[in-house]
Amino acid sequence: MTTTQESLSTNKPAPKSIFASRTFWGAMLTLVVAIAPKVGEMVDNKKVDGASISQLIVLFGTTTLTIIGRVEAKRPIYTPDGVPGPNKSDLAQ
């Protein structure tokens, strides 16, 4: 086992609901902001075209991948110094 794997197995964070995840809500809000103009356009035009449907499918797909990534995440991430979030040195043991 690597050092990172060892530290993860000994210091497991408490589980939380997906609905308590800022990543989940960020993905959901981004999805709403991204699809609202396209849906509004389709309603105004009373027409659904292939390009609009393909854009919506891509948006739902990428949002789904973001949420799956969050659910399956095992390793902690760090941010550069001076940016909010843990720095690499904060995670070193």
**pLDDT, average across residues 4-26:** 76
What is the reported pLDDT for 75? 82
pLDDT tens for each residue of 30-64 = 999 999 999 999 999 999 999 999 999 999 999 99
By the 8 A CB rule, do 91 and 78 touch?
yes
The better pLDDT of the pair 16, 7 is held by 16
Distances in Å between the Cα of 93 and the Cα atoms of 13, 73, 89 are 15, 20, 8
| Lowest-confidence region among 21-35, 59-73, 77-91 | 77-91
